[in-house]
Amino acid sequence: MQPTWEGGKKMKKRFGILAAIVAVATLSACGNTENQSQDSSSTGNKSEDSAPVAPAPEKFRKSLVVYFSVPETDDPENMTQEEENSAVVIGGKVLGNTQYVAQTIQERVGGDIFRIEPDKAYPTDHEELVDLASKEQEEGARPALKEKIETMDQYETIFLGYPNWWGDMPMILYSFLDETDLAGKTIIPFNTHGGSGFSSTIDSIKKEEPSAKVIEDGYSVNRDEAADSKEAVIKWLNDLNI
């Protein structure tokens, strides 16, 4: 199985030295750009781009959409291949792949949306980003979070979104799961990828959150199809049995 990166280009991963071939998958996530938040990075606020597409299903009441995404540019003009692979351009605005899916979910289910961000922003340069993320994975790092959710009491359902980086979640997802009490919640994973789907990430979420109910029927979309995924996301939500 090839590891994937949200940016979308096949790279070599370091294991001390860069070794395994890596495909840059999709980094989907938040607001303004993927590295500086623009939608909402705190709960209780909905994305400025969100607009209900249809009445939210009753089964998704008290929902929170949490996601991490890192587009490699905020400029929609003259993007490199790596930048195109990491982003969706909607109305002249650059969104990360996972970000776009997260906003589509939030438009459908209502509730709040929260972007996971590192305390120190990730670089947008492709090579630097790959090296840093590879090093974090090798070390099992837990990057510091820029903001945290103070209380989860008002939420019952947590949609958790992330790109597939080398067959795993980005390490900052582990930071979020370590520092956020999701006991008793229903967690619904979604991700973007360059060919590896969820890999073993759903099992990883179960291991990190043993007291939560983790839905295995999550939504996974290839980075090349993220921009056209809206109807598929809505269908998945309608069909989802939780």
% of the chain residues with pLDDT over 70: 76
pLDDT-based confidence at residue 106 (cuts at 50, 70, 90): very high
Mean pLDDT along residues 234-238:
96
Q: In b/e form, how buried is each residue of 216-237, taking b as 16+ CB within 10 angstroms? A: eebbbbbbeebeebbeebbebb
Q: Is residue 8 over pLDDT 80?
A: no
% of the chain residues with pLDDT over 90: 58
The closest alpha carbon to 25, from 166, 131, 145, belongs to 166
Q: Is residue 196 over pLDDT 70?
A: yes
The pLDDT of residue 57: 66
Inter-residue contact 159 to 181 (CB < 8 Å): no
CA–CA separation, 105 and 160 (whole Å): 11
Q: What is the DSSP letter of 180?
A: S
For residue range 70-104, list pLDDT tens digits in order: 887 787 888 888 878 788 888 888 898 999 999 99
The pLDDT of residue 72: 74
Q: Is residue 33 over pLDDT 50?
A: no
pLDDT-based confidence at residue 25 (cuts at 50, 70, 90): very low
Q: What is the mean pLDDT of the chain?
A: 81
Inter-residue contact 94 to 121 (CB < 8 Å): no
Q: Is residue 135 over pLDDT 50?
A: yes
Q: Name the residue ranges covered by the structural domains of the chain.
A: 59-239
The pLDDT of residue 74: 82
Q: Is residue 121 over pLDDT 50?
A: yes
Right CATH number for 59-239 from 3.40.50.150, 3.40.50.360, 3.40.50.720, 3.30.70.1450? Answer: 3.40.50.360
> How many other C-beta atoms lie within 10 A of the C-beta of residue 99?
36
The pLDDT of residue 119: 97
Q: How far is CA 191 from CA 58, 118, 141, in A?
A: 23, 19, 21
Mean pLDDT along residues 189-194:
96
Q: Which residue has the higher pLDDT, 124 or 16?
A: 124
The pLDDT of residue 11: 37
